[in-house]
A and B are shown apart, each in its own frame.
Chain A
Amino acid sequence: MAPPAASQRYPSPSQPSGKSEVSDLKTQLRQLAGSRAPGVDDSKRDLYKKVISYMTIGIDVSSVFGEMVMCSATSDIVLKKMCYLYVGNYAKGNPDLSLLTINFLQRDCKDEDPMIRGLALRSLCSLRVPNLVEYLVGPLGSGLKDNNSYVRTIAVTGVLKLYHISASTCIDADFPATLKSLMLHDSDAQVVANCLSALQEIWSLEASHSEEACREKESLLSKPVIYYFLNRIKEFNEWAQCLILELAVKYVPSDSNDIFDIMNLLEDRLQHANGAVVLATVKVFLQLTLSMTDVHQQVYERIKSPLLTLVSSGSPEQSYAILSHLHLLVVRAPFIFAADYKHFYCQYNEPSYVKKLKLEMLTAVANESNTYEIVTELCEYAANVDIAIARESIRAVGKIALQQYDVNAIVDRLLQFLEMEKDYVTAETLVLVKDLLRKYPQWSHDCISVVGGISSKNIQEPKAKAALIWMLGEYAQDMSDAPYVLENLIENWEEEHSAEVRLHLLTAAMKCFFKRAPETQKALGIALAAGIADFHQDVHDRALFYYRVLQYDVHVAERVVSPPKQAVSVFADTQSSEIKDRIFDEFNSLSVIYQKPSYMFTDKEHRGPFEFSDELGNISISPEASSDIVPAQQFEANDKDLLLGIDEKDDNKGLSNNNGSAYTAPSLESSSNISSQMQELAISGPATSATTPQSSFGFDDLFGLGLSTAPAPTPSSPLLKLNPRAALDPGAFQQKWRQLPISLTQECSVNPQGIAALTVPQSLIRHMQSHSIHCIASGGQSPNFKFFFFAQKESEPSNYLAECIINTSSARAQIKVKADEQSTSQAFTTVFETALSKFGLP
C-alpha cells in the first residue's frame, strides 16, 4: 500500500521511514511469541500498538503477519482486538497465512465471554478470503443460535458478509431461511433489524436468477411483515428505524384506512431527535399520500415545522442536507412555506453553501404579502462581505421581480444598487435590469435615466457589458448620448475580448442606426468593417449578414434586426417539471442534494473498474455487493442501459480528466501487481502457452509474415487492415447496432492469462485498442463481462461493430459481429479473435 500522498507532503517527524522499523518489530514479536513470562502481555501490547500505528499511517506491515498470528494466543481482550484489526486488514493479501488465524478465531468463537465470541466472529467474517469460507459456516451457524443477542447481531451481519464472499456457500447452508425465522421471532430488536437489512440485500441480489428469492423479496413488503415492523418501531434504534422506514416507503397500501393507520403509527417519528429518522418518515408520508391531493397538502403542513426545526438546530452539514430537501418541497409548494420565510434568512456565520440554498428558497416563497420584507432582507446581503453571496442575492431580487410581485419597489431597489458603485453589484444589476425591461417595458423610462448615468468604462464583466450595450441599442431614442457611447465602444473594438460583447455591439449599432441614422452611420460603418475582419466566426458571420441585408434594403434590415417586440411573459424554466417529479420520487437520497434524478449522475463507468479490481481479484463468483436500492446503479448490460452508459461517458470525461495524477495511482499500481503475477504464470506454465500457439502465431502472421503461412481458422478471407485512429460517436454506434443485422456469431475460448488480466480495469480495452479495435462501452459483473467494440477499415469508412461477452468462469467468449460490408465480416472476426487470443500473453 502506498503511503498517502498527503502525508508525504507534510512529513511528521514521528513518521518512520518503514523498512528497518518493520523488521525490528518482526524480531521483537518473534521473541515474545513463545514466551509465557509474566508481563509479556504488556510488552506485546506495546508492540501491537506500534504495528497498528504503522498500519494506520499507511506503512505496509503485512510482512509481520506470521509473527502477529503467533503472538495472538492471549486472554487479553485489547490484544485480541488489535490482533483482529490487523488480521482483518491484511488477510485478503495473505490468503495462505490467513489459514493460521482461522484456528484461534474459531477457538475464540467458543469463548465463554460473549463479547469475545462476537468480536471473533466479526473478524472471522471480515477476513474475506474466499478459500476459507468453509470455516465460516460452522461458527456462523452456532452464532445465529447463540443465547447472547450481541453475538447473534454480529452473526447476522456475518451471514451477509459470507454471501458476498461466496453466495453459493451461504445459500447452501440455508442461512437466508434461518435469518427469516430470526427476523420474525427474535426478541432483540437489533438482531431483527440486521436480519432485515441482510435479507433485503441477499434476496434482491438473488432475485435475478431465483424465483423463490423474488417471492421472498416481495413477501418483505406484505402487509403483515410491514405492520410487524411498524408496530414495534420504537424498540429499534434510530438507524434501524431508518431501515424500516425505507422499507415502508416501498409498501403499497391496500386502501386509505391502511394509509391512515401507517401515518398514525409513525406520527411521533417526526419529532425524533435524529434527522435521518425524521426525513425517512417524511418520505413515507409524502409517498403514501401522493394520490390523495388534500391529505398530501395536510402532510406538507404537518412536516413543515419538524423540518424547519431540524434546519436550525443541527450542524451546518446537517442543515445543508435538510435544506436541500426542504428546497425541493418549497419549490413544489411555495405557498405552504410563505409565512415561514424568516427561517430562510441567512446568518452571518453560515457557510456559503447553506446561504445559497436559503437565497433560492427566499426567492421561491416570495408572494404578495412577504415580498417587501424578503427583498429588504436580500438587499442587506448585497452589501455582504462575501461577494459570491452578494451577487447571488442580487440575482434573487431580480428573480422575485420577474415573479411580478411588487415590481415597483423592486425596481427602485435595483436602481439603488447601481448607485452603490461596487463593480460586481453594478454588473449583476445591469444584467437584471435588462431582463426586467424585457418583461416590463413600461419601466424603461425610470431605468434608462439611471443606466444612462453609468459609464461603460467602469464595467468589465462581459455579461454586464453586453446587457448595457443591449439597452443602449434598444432604447437609443431615449438616451441622448447612446450613439456616442456606442461609438466609443466600437472604437475600442480591438480591445474587446469577449465575442458576446462584440456580437451585441453589432446589433446595438444596427438598432441605433435605425432610430438615429445620421448620428450612428459612421460608427456602424466602423463596426461592420471591424466585424467582417473579426477572427471570431460568429462575429464575422453576423457582420457580413448585416452588411448584406443593409445593402439589399434598409427597411427589410430593420424588420429583421429590430422588429417591434412583445414583452416576455415567462422565461424558460431551467428544469422541466418531469425532472422535478423524478427528484421528488427519490426524496431522501443523493438526487436531492445534486438536484438531479439519479440516472443523471450515477456513474456506471466508474463502477465498472471497481467491480473488476475487487470482485474478480478474489476469484469469487459472487455478484456485486451493493444493494439494489437504486436499480439504476447496477449495470445490466442490456441495450437500454448501453444507451445510458454511452450518454454518460462524455459527461464523465471532464470529471475524470480533472482528477490529479495521485488519483490514477492505484490502478497503475495494481496493474504492476498483476503483471508481475502474469510473469510468474508465464514462467510456470509452458503448458498453458502451448494451448494457444496457433492463434498467437496467427497474430504474427497478420502483421509480419504474411498470410500464406498463417494457420488462421479462415485462410480464405482476405487480409484486413484496420484504421488505428478510427472514430465513431456513441450515437452513431447505437443507430448502426440497431439497424445492422448480425453477420456472424462466434464462440471462442479465452486463455487463462487473459482471464487473469481482466482484473485490471481497462486492460482488455487497451489491448484491443493496440489492435485498432476500439471499445465504446463496457460493463457487467463477474462472471459475465460485456464489451462493445468497433473498428474501421483503414482505406475506406466501413465500420465493424462487435459485441463480446466474456464468461470468466468458463473462460469462453461469445462474439457477435455486425458490419457495413457483410462480405468482410469474416475477415474482421478473424482479426478480432486473434487479437483476443493474444490478450493477457506477455
Chain B
Amino acid sequence: MLQCIFLISDSGEVMLEKQLTGHRVDRSICAWFWDQSISQGDSFKLLPVIASPTHYLFQIVRDGITLLACSQVEMPPLMAIEFLCRVADVLSEYLGGLNEDLVKDNFIIVYELLDEMIDNGFPLTTEPSILREMIAPPNLVSKMLSVVTGNASNVSDTLPSGAGSCVPWRPTDPKYSSNEVYVDLVEEMDAIVNRDGELVKCEIYGEVQMNSQLSGFPDLTLSFANPSILEDMRFHPCVRFRPWESHQVLSFVPPDGEFKLMSYRVKKLKNTPVYVKPQITSDAGTCRISVLVGIRSDPGKTIESITLSFQLPHCVSSADLSSNHGTVTILSNKTCTWTIGRIPKDKTPCLSGTLTLETGLERLHVFPTFKLGFKIMGIALSGLRIEKLDLQTIPPRLYKGFRAQTRAGEFDVRL
C-alpha cells in the first residue's frame, strides 16, 4: 500500500506531491532522499528500493524526473515499481514527453491522472485507453476544440465506461469512419562480442506493437509464418491463452489505440549485421587505437544511423581521434561518440588516433567497451514473419498495415 507519490525534478525540487492515505508523508522525506542520491553521485545509481529512517522508498528515474513512492508497510516491491513505471509511461504519453516544464505546466492533469490511477494506496486503472476515456490528453486537437467550442474542459463528458465493459481494456463502443489496424514488429538486438571477435551472446528482444482504430467489438486473429522460433512470450491481457497453446495463433479483442500486443525473445542468433573490429596497442604512455566498422551479413535493407560510442578510461589524459567517414565527438565526461550513418560502398569506415595516458602510466590496463547503435527499417532480424491478420467480422473500409524494424539494443563490443 503506497502512502504518497512525489515527482522530483532533476535539481531535487519537489514538483508534485500526491498523498494517498490518511497518513500524510511529510515532504522532508524528499530532502532526505535527495541528500542520499547526491551522496551516491548520481540518482541513477541509487537502488530502486531503499529504506529511509521512516519509510520504504521506491524510486524510478525517467528523463531526469524521479518518481518516488513511500510506504510503511510490507508490500510486493515489484508491484510498486511496476506501478511507478506505468505512471511514468502514462504521463509521458499524456504530456508528450516527461520533463520539468511539462509536468509543471500540466500539473492539474497529473493530479487528475494520479487520482484515477490509484486510490487509497492501491492501484486502480492504469490502462491508457481507459484513462483517455476519463481524462482527455492536452493535445493540440483538444486545445483547438476548446477554442472553437469554448468548452475548455479537458475532461471528457462520457462515463468511464471501460470500468463497466466486460473487456476491461476496451471502451464500450468506439466508432471510426475508416477502420484501420497497424501491426509493427519492433526488434532490438542485444549482443556481446568479446575481444577475439566471438559472439558471446546474441539475442533479439521483440515486441508486436499495434495501433487499432476499429469500430465496435472486433475479434482479431494474428498468425505467424514461423512461430516456433519465439521464446519467452509475454502477452497483453487481451490475448486468449488457449489458441496460442494449441496452434500458436494470437486471438484477441484489441484495446483501442496504440498498445503492445506481445513481447518475445529469440535466442542464440548466429550472426550480427554489422561487425566492429577494435584494436588498441599501448607503449610508453601513448596508445594507438583503430576501429573498423563494416557489414558482416547484408540484411537486404539499408543499415542506418550506425553509431559507436565508448567511454575513454579515466587514466587517459587526452585523445586525438579522427575518422575517414562520419564525425567523432568527445564530450567533457570522456564519452566518445562516432556517428557513422550509413556505410559507404567504396570504403570501410575507420576510426583511428592516439590516446595519451596520464604521466607515470606506461600501458593501458582498463579497456573501453564499445556500444554499437544501428537501425534497419523494413526487416525483423529474428526472421519472424507475420502470416496474416484476420477479423472475424470485416468492417467497412478496412485498412491493414504491417511494418517491421530492427535496431541495436544493448550491443557491446569488448576490447
Point out residues on A near B: beta carbons under 8 Å: 1-2, 4-7, 9-10, 12, 42, 45, 49, 52-53, 56-58, 76-78, 81-82, 85, 89, 92, 113-115, 119, 122, 128, 148-150, 153-154, 157, 160-161, 164-165, 188-190, 194, 197, 234-239, 242-243, 246, 267-268, 271-276, 279-280, 305-306, 308-310, 312-318, 320-322, 324-325, 342, 345, 347-353, 376-377, 380, 383-385, 420-422, 425, 586, 588-594, 598, 601-603, 606-607, 609-610, 614, 625-627, 629-630, 633, 652, 655-656, 658-660, 662-663, 665-666
> A317 touching B85 by the CB < 8 A rule?
yes
Query: Given known contacts A1-B27, A348-B369, what 7 new A-B pairs fall within 8 Å (CB)?
Result: A154-B119, A190-B124, A235-B168, A309-B231, A352-B45, A627-B73, A630-B74
Q: Contact between B410 and A347 (Cβ–Cβ < 8 Å)?
A: yes
A114-B159 contact given A6-B12, A10-B11, A659-B53, CB 8 Å threshold: yes
Question: What residues of B have a CB within 8 angstroms of the CB of A656 in the complex?
Answer: 53
Check B72–A148 contact: CB distance below 8 A: no
Q: Which residues of A contact B16 (CB under 8 A)?
A: 56
B347 in the interface (beta carbon within 8 A): no
**A56:B152 contact, CB within 8 angstroms:** no
- Whether the Cβ atoms of A589 and B77 lie closer than 8 Å is yes
Q: Contact string, B327-352, partner A, CB cutoff 8 A, digits 1/0?
A: 00000000000000000000000000
Contact of B265 among A12, A188, A236, A312 (CB under 8 A): A312
Shortest CB–CB separation between residue A210 and chain B, in angstroms? Answer: 22
CB-based contact A606/B34 at 8 Å: no
A interface: dominant SS: helix
> What is the total number of residues of chain B having a CB less than 8 Å from a CB of chain A?
105
Tell me the nearest residue of chain B to A55, going by C-beta: B17
Q: Is B298 an interface residue (CB 8 A)?
A: no
Bound Cα distance A165, B120 (Å): 13
For residue B378, CB closer than 8 A to chain A, the reply is: no
Q: How many angstroms between the C-alpha atoms of A686 and B200 in the bound complex?
A: 83
Question: Is B313 in the interface zone, CB < 8 Å from A?
Answer: yes
Question: Among B24, B49, B61, B237, which residue has its beta carbon within 8 angstroms of that of A321?
Answer: B49
- Contact, CB under 8 Å: B74 / A590: yes
Given known contacts A56-B17, A273-B236, A318-B85, A150 and B73 CB-to-CB distance under 8 angstroms: no
Contact B159 A342 (CB under 8 A): no
How far is it, in angstroms, between the C-alpha of A710 and the C-alpha of B313 when the chains are bound?
A: 80
Query: Would B22 and A128 count as touching, CB distance under 8 A?
Result: yes
Q: Could you write out 30 A-B pairs with CB less than 8 Å apart?
A: A10-B13, A12-B13, A52-B108, A56-B107, A77-B153, A81-B112, A89-B19, A235-B166, A237-B168, A238-B237, A243-B122, A271-B234, A274-B82, A276-B78, A305-B232, A316-B48, A317-B61, A317-B81, A320-B48, A321-B49, A321-B77, A348-B412, A349-B410, A350-B410, A353-B48, A376-B194, A588-B78, A598-B74, A606-B53, A630-B74
**Interchain CA distance A606-B71 in the complex, whole Å:** 13
Pairwise interchain contact A625-B108, C-beta atoms closer than 8 A? no
Give A279 to B112 CA distance when docked, in angstroms: 29
B61-104 CB contacts (< 8 Å) to partner A: 61, 72-79, 81-85, 104
Assess whether A630 is in contact with B107, with CB atoms less than 8 Å apart. no
Q: Which residues of A contact B60 (CB under 8 A)?
A: 315, 317
Q: CA–CA, A82 to B110, complex, Å?
A: 12
Given A49-B108, A273-B236, A313-B205, CB of A148 within 8 Å of CB of B76: no
Which of B26, B82, B236 gathers most chain A CB within 10 Å? B82
Given contacts A78-B108, A383-B365, A593-B49, contact A666 B74 (CB under 8 A): no
**Residue from B77, B79, B160 in contact with A115 in the complex, judged by beta carbons closer than 8 Å:** B160
Q: Is the CB of B234 within 8 A of A239?
A: no
- B43 smallest CB distance to A (angstroms): 11
Let me know if A78 and B11 touch, CB within 8 A: no
- For B200, what are the chain A residues with a Cβ–Cβ distance below 8 Å? 342, 345, 377
Q: In the assembly, what is the distance between CA of A268 and CA of B240, in Å?
A: 9
B62: nearest chain-A partner, CB-CB? A315
Whether the Cβ atoms of A276 and B79 lie closer than 8 Å is yes
Give the chain B neighbours of A606 by CB distance below 8 A.
53-54
Q: Is the CB of A625 within 8 A of B22?
A: yes
A384 to B367, CA, bound (A): 7
CB distance B28 to A271 under 8 Å?
no
Whether, in the assembled complex, B154 has its beta carbon less than 8 Å from a beta carbon of chain A, the answer is yes
Which residues from B are CB-within-8-Å of A586?
74
| Least CB separation from B231: chain A residue | A305
Residue B212 CB within 8 A of the other chain? no
Q: For the complex, what is the distance from the CA of A243 to the CA of B127, rounded to whole Å?
A: 17
Residue of B27, B47, B115 near A58 (CB, 8 A) is B27
Given A309-B234, A309-B265, A590-B75, also A6-B82 (CB < 8 A): no
Chain A: which residue is nearest B310 at the CB level?
A348
One of B11, B48, B159 near A317 (C-beta < 8 A): B48
For B27, B35, B201, B410, the residue with the greatest tally of chain A CB atoms inside 10 Å of its CB is B27
**Do B21 and A625 touch (CB < 8 A)?**
yes
In the complex, chain B residues whose CB is within 8 Å of the CB of A42: 152
Which chain B residues in 120-166 approach chain A with CB under 8 Å? Answer: 120, 122-127, 134, 152-155, 157, 159-160, 163-164, 166
Cβ-defined contact, A122 with B119, below 8 A: yes
* Beta-carbon contact of B23 and A614 below 8 Å: yes
Known: A610-B72, A629-B73. A318 touches B234 (CB 8 A): no
Distance A7 CA – B31 CA, assembled complex (angstroms): 9
Q: Which residues of A contact B115 (CB under 8 A)?
A: 81, 85, 119, 122
Identify B13's interface contact among A4, A348, A422, A614, CB under 8 A. Answer: A4
Contact across chains for A321 and B74 when beta carbons are under 8 A apart = no
Of B14, B126, B153, the residue contacting A239 (CB under 8 A) is B126
Flag if B54 contacts A610 (CB, 8 Å).
yes
- Residue interface mask B348-378, A partner, CB < 8 A = 1: 0000000000000000011111010000000
Nearest to B410 among chain A residues (CB) is A347
State how many angstroms separate the Cβ of A331 from the closest Cβ of chain B.
18
Q: How far is the CA of A237 from the CA of B117 in the complex (A)?
A: 12
Q: Which of B13, B74, B205, B367 contacts A602 (CB 8 A)?
A: B74
Q: Is B277 an interface position by the 8 A CB rule?
A: no
B14 to chain A, nearest CB (A): 5
Interface: B51 (CB within 8 A): yes
A659 to B263: give the CA distance in the assembly, Å: 43
Tell me which residues from 176 to 205 in chain B have a Cβ below 8 Å from any Cβ of chain A: 190, 192, 194-195, 200-201, 205
Q: Within the complex, what minimum Cβ distance (angstroms) separates B96 from chain A?
A: 20
Expressed in whole angstroms, the Cα–Cα distance for A614 and B120 within the complex equals 16
Knowing A345-B201, A663-B53, say if A315 contacts B260 (CB, 8 Å).
no
- Contact at A663–B28, with CB atoms within 8 Å? yes
Q: Are A273 and B53 within 8 A (Cβ)?
A: no
Q: At the interface, yes or no: B399 with Cβ under 8 Å from chain A?
A: no
Say which residue of A76, A189, A348, A626 sits within 8 Å of B153 (CB atoms).
A76
Given A238-B126, A309-B265: A342 and B73 interface contact (C-beta under 8 Å): no
**Across the interface, do B265 and A318 meet the contact criterion of CB distance under 8 Å?**
no
Asked whether B290 is an interface residue with its Cβ less than 8 Å from the other chain, the reply is no
Q: B241 touches which one: A53, A122, A271, A658 (CB < 8 A)?
A: A271
Measured CB to CB, the nearest residue on chain A to B134 is: A115
A85 and B73 alpha carbons, distance in the complex (Å) = 25
Nearest-neighbor residue (CB-CB) of B362 within chain A: A421
| CB of B275 closer than 8 Å to a CB of A | no
A601 to B77, CA, bound (A): 15
Within 8 Å by CB of A280, from B48, B73, B76, lies B76
| B14, B22, B125, B414: most-surrounded residue (chain A CB, <10 A) | B22
Check if A78 sits within 8 Å of B53, measured CB to CB.
Answer: no
What residues on A are CB-neighbors of B192 within 8 Å?
345, 347
Whether A9 pairs with B163 at a CB distance below 8 angstroms is no
- Asked if B217 is at the interface of the complex by the 8 Å CB criterion, the answer is no
Decide: A6 near B30, CB < 8 A? Known: A614-B22, A655-B53.
Answer: yes
Q: A607 touches which one: B28, B72, B107, B368 (CB < 8 A)?
A: B72
CB proximity of B272 to chain A, nearest CB, Å:
15
A666–B60 alpha-carbon span in the complex (Å): 25
CB-CB under 8 A from A114, the residues of chain B are 159-160
**In the complex, A348→B17 CA distance in Å?**
35
| Candidates A52, A308, A383; contact of B232 at CB < 8 Å | A308
Contact A273 B76 (CB under 8 A): no
